Structure 1
Amino acid sequence: MLQHVVRISDGLGNQMFQYAFAYALARRTGAEVLIDPLFWGTSLRKYQLEKFKVTNTKRMVSRVWDYILGFGPRNGRRFKDGYRQFLIRKKYQLIKEKQVMCYDENLVSQTRPSFYMGFWQTPRYFEAYYEELKSQFVRKKNISVQALDYQKRIQEETSVALHIRRTDYVRQEGNAALGFEFYEEALHRMQDRLGAFQLFVFTDDKEFVKKNFKLREYVLVDKVCDLDEFELMRQCDHHIIANSTFSWWAAYLGMDKGGIVYAPCTGIWSQEFYPKEWNLIDTKTDI
């Protein structure tokens, strides 16, 4: 049987895009598609797909062998990477994504064993298997006790999730954080369409939001883990997402693909990145 491998890396949202690409590739071609989660012991990012009910879990490098290559709990970066380079040279042709957030038909019709390295961030790669993926991207464990109060409010009211991502986006050069102009416009349009609603703000920079977000009264989702935040965001009726794969997936997996969704169209975050049902607002990142 023809065999391919898809690299899994970076944060949760990126991991979900990579997994969705791998799953769709297997379903579409009938090939066996392995995954290759590659994370360093010193990295802030961790492999998180195992927290969900995913089915395609066979790895190119076994957990035990990866543990040995990593010297147990330590880093072992060059040994992990070196072993993978050896396997790729021996068994596969290496295919790297040429342009982010753009669909490439040729990538999913390879007749030679291939190792795919990229992010594959367009729903065109996996839209045909949406319901199957939605049933897999479900948490194995229930949300925490701390998150239950937020969940109750989200379910009782017309809820809108608003995501503000900063941390690694805020930098002197190449700042990728959105300005408040985008959120102001999105909230205005949401108000016109919904009337009254309860706003829930999700962010990785809570102190910044507390000090600076004055556009509307809101509930700040705080003191829960990132997977709880993801689940709570997903359960909201409607969404205003950031230029972030984290909130992209939370909206995409929500009811009716997020209900009414407003998303920023800026830089590389082009129209092909978003489902056709969503509403795009041309915007700029904060200066």
Structure 2
Amino acid sequence: MVIVQLSGGLGNQMFEYALYLSLKAKGKVVKIDDITCYEGPGTRPKQLDVFGVSYERATKQELTEMTDSSLDPVSRIRRKLTGRKTKAYREKDINFDPQVMERDPALLEGCFQSEKYFQDCREQVREAYRFRGIESGAYPLPEAYRRLEKEIADCPSVSVHIRRGDYLEESHGGIYTGICTEQYYQEAFARMEKEVPGAKFFLFSNDPDWTREHFKGENRILVEGSTEDTGYLDLYLMSKCKHNIIANSSFSWWGAWLNDNPEKKVTAPARWLNGRECRDIYTERMIRI
């Protein structure tokens, strides 16, 4: 059996669930650990339900066995004598790790941020991420978002994801800082305006005040109204845009990937993380600047 651990926000959860689908398509017995990273206070919400997807959940007992963490006396004495016999495996780095696809039994930990993990079942992944919750009304689309959806459909729309907040902090070792700068966005705007006549930009950001101040323009519309718990609303509208300017973020990566415009243009930062080579995060359609 293989257990895939869910972690992080919606974008990360989508990569992890895509891996789950890929491993199942290969005939493996696969379950999801949606317990470990979501038990404590302050954790980010699990949001895969907006897609109406289902999965088999790993039990706490199965996780205990995988990590060899039973607290019974015999197990504790054995670990002291012979060491822990965990089956947990963390991907080597940010790039595609073939070992992830081969380990069995295993508890797989990581972000798995590459299309290569689900290349053989792309259409199955696309079908899974159909926003069934919005279609059914279980996750209602606010009226303001419905108006924006129509406007996006009726013009040469370009989504622009501007992530600030935690990306400005040094708490992550500075791996995110100084990448998606104001200059990056201005160059991306200029490229899109040149290649997409009449381009209209829809701005999505967790710092709307800063975005409103720095990216003013008649052809720029700030999308407001979502929260941490309803981020899927922004992802939904991003996926409806005809072209995309993404941040170094799994969230807008998926917004661009779910965009089904065959002529789409996707702009991404040439550097994804500071100090790390992230070659496998990029897809063939991405223009790196």
Q: Give the CA deviation at 1:209.
A: 0.8
Deviation at 1:240, TM superposition (A): 0.3
Could you say what the CA RMSD is over the residues aligned between the two structures, in angstroms? 2.3
- Identify which range, 213-222 or 198-207, moves more after superposition: 213-222
> Greater shift after overlay, 128-137 or 170-179?
170-179
* Mapped pair 1:6 → 2:4: yes
2:32 to 32, 35, 39: 35
Q: Is the 8 A contact 2:270 2:288 kept in 1?
A: yes
Residue 97 in structure 1 maps to residue 97 in structure 2: no
- 2:146 is equivalent to residue 148 of structure 1: yes
Report SS of the residue matched to 1:275.
coil
- Counterpart for residue 215 of structure 2: 213
CA shift at 1:171, angstroms? 1.9
> 1:20 deviation in Å?
0.7
Q: Aligned to 2:269, what secondary structure does the other structure show?
A: strand
Q: Which amino acid aligns with 1:36?
A: D
Residues 196-224 of structure 1, C-alpha deviations (whole Å, 9 max, x = no match) = 11110000100111122247741110114
Once the 2 structures are TM-superposed, how far is the Cα of residue 140 of structure 1 from its aligned partner?
A: 2.8
Q: Measure, in 2, the Cα distance between the counterparts of 1:269 and 1:240.
A: 21
| Residue type at the aligned position of 2:33 | D
- Tell me: CA distance 1:157–1:215, structure 2 relative to 1, closer, same or farther (3 Å): closer
Residue number in structure 2 paired with 1:280: 288
CA–CA distance in 1 between the matches of 2:56 and 2:262? 29
Q: How does 1:112-123 map to 2 (within 5 A)?
A: 112-123=104-115
Q: Give the match's secondary structure for 1:169.
A: helix
**Structure 1 position 176 matched with structure 2 position 181:** no
| Amino acid aligned to 2:44 | R
- Counterpart contact for 1:92–1:113, Cα < 8 Å: no
Q: Compare 245-254 and 188-197 and name the one that shifted more.
A: 188-197
- For 2:14 and 2:146, locate their aligned partners in 1 and report how far apart those are by CA, in whole Å: 25
1:51 maps to: 50
1:109 maps to amino acid: E
How far residue 270 of structure 1 moved from its aligned partner, in angstroms, is 2.6
Preserved contact between residue 243 and residue 269 of structure 1 (Cα < 8 Å)? no
8 Å CA contact 1:4–1:113 kept in 2: the answer is yes
Per the alignment, residue 82 of structure 2 pairs with: none
Distance 2:284 2:177 in 1: 23
Q: Give how far 1:93 is off.
A: 1.4
Tell me if the contact between 1:103 and 1:122 (Cα under 8 Å) persists in the aligned partners. yes
5 Å-filtered alignment, 1:257-272, equals: 259-266=264-271, 267=274, 268=276, 270-272=278-280
Structure 1: give runs of 5+ residues left out of the alignment. Answer: 66-82, 282-287
Q: Which runs of 5+ in 2 are unaligned?
A: 70-84, 135-140
Aligned AA (2:251): F
Q: CA deviation at 1:98?
A: 1.2
Contact residue 188 and residue 245 of structure 2 kept, 8 A: yes
SS of 1:141 mapped into structure 2: helix
CA distance in 1, matches of 2:158, 2:285: 17
Distance 1:258 1:121, change over 3 A: farther
Map residues 214-229 of structure 1 onto 2, 5 A cutoff: 214=216, 217-224=219-226, 225-229=230-234
Work out whether residues 203 and 221 of structure 2, in 8 Å CA contact, stay in contact via their aligned partners in 1. yes
Kindly state the Cα deviation for residue 138 of structure 1 after the two structures are TM-superposed.
1.9
How many residue pairs get aligned? The number is 256
* Counterpart for residue 195 of structure 1: 197
Contact 1:265 1:271 in 2 (8 A): no
Deviations 1:91-136 (A, max 9, x none): 9611111111x112232123x3111011111111112211111111
TM normalised by structure 1 equals 0.82
Q: Which amino acid aligns with 1:152?
A: K
1:133 partner amino acid: V
| Aligned partner of residue 22 in structure 1, secondary structure | helix
- Counterpart residue type for residue 244 of structure 2: H
